[in-house]
Amino acid sequence: MKKVEKNEFDVVIIGGGPAGLSAALWCDDLGLSSMLLEKEKEFGGQLLWTYNAIENHLGITAKNGREMSEIFLQQTEKRNFSRHLTAGVEKVNLAEKTISLTHGEEFSGKFIILATGVRRRKLNIPGEDFFRGRGIIESGKKDADKIENKNVVIVGGGDAALENALILSEKAKKVYLVHRRDEFRGRKEFIEKVEKNGRVEILLETELVEIKGDEAIRSVRTKNRKSGEMRDLQIEAVLLRIGIEPNTELFRGQIDLDKNGYIEIDSSCRTSIANVFAVGDAANPTAPTISSAVGMGATAVKQISAYL
């Protein structure tokens, strides 16, 4: 039987990205006891897989997300709040304000702030999990050198897929850009550049259905959505840019979510359950930015402080 240790705070924050860090900082500023729970080995959230320069967060610029995360952590490391890494949450009871971790600890708060963020969407096809880190790359910016003179397939039809196709085409032998719809939804300037790029082959109305290989990726199988035709492409790397989805599975059935799983909130970041707030990208599908996440963290804690 697991040994349960119970810990009580004014505020328990789930998620250690910009929104959660902001909330923890403001809890200290306003004299509230708080616990910041993060399931990964380090704080930063999506910043840790943002490889482009960040130049649009007022007051701070950084060469990438990790550098921005380090700036945030330097500011918060001496602040007076409790923090817990590798804190995998097994169960949350939002009505009772309790959180149980996978290794047995239990936390409760007068208020809970949900800052669980989003993750990259998966295709859920054969080979996808096996080849993660073995040919499925994270970013064109980060991994461009790994694909030099190789064939690459990119899946997606928005700005991220188009921009990565342009970046990788500078070093790749060939880039296949696979999109399930009959037109791209990205910016016109990106589309025009991709269409004129001789190293990019565009496959519209096409789905990736399998990633194949041994210890490395050797090929992928595609399916034309109109004709049903299957095609095998000799490929050595895959990049998926098919959008994101919120990390809100633990809260389903307890709290109001929209049709895509994002947490519904009011202008003060309050959810449908009393004393439960949501901040950051998990509650902000229309404007998911570092700036909005940081601001939402502050907004929620200011409201909580007023209640207390």
Assigned CATH for 140-240 = 3.50.50.60
pLDDT in tens, 12-47: 999 999 999 999 999 999 999 999 999 999 999 999
Q: Token digits for 265?
A: 């909130």
Please answer whether residues 4 and 107 qualify as being in contact, where contact means their C-beta atoms are separated by less than 8 angstroms: no
| pTM of the shown model | 0.90
| CA pair distance 51, 44, nearest whole angstrom | 13
pLDDT in tens, 249-291: 999 999 999 999 999 999 999 999 999 999 999 999 999 999 9
The answer, yes or no, to whether residue 1 has pLDDT greater than 60, is no
| CA pair distance 160, 295, nearest whole angstrom | 25
What three-state secondary structure class fits 169? helix
Per-residue pLDDT, 104: 87
**Same CATH fold assignment for domains 6-120+244-307 and 140-240:** yes
Q: What percent of the chain has pLDDT over 70?
A: 98
| CA pair distance 253, 283, nearest whole angstrom | 16
Q: Which CATH superfamily is domain 6-120+244-307 in?
A: FAD/NAD(P)-binding domain (3.50.50.60)
| CA pair distance 21, 73, nearest whole angstrom | 8
The answer, yes or no, to whether residue 197 has pLDDT greater than 60, is yes
The answer, yes or no, to whether residue 6 has pLDDT greater than 70, is no
For the chain, which residues make up each domain, given as ranges?
Answer: 6-120+244-307, 140-240
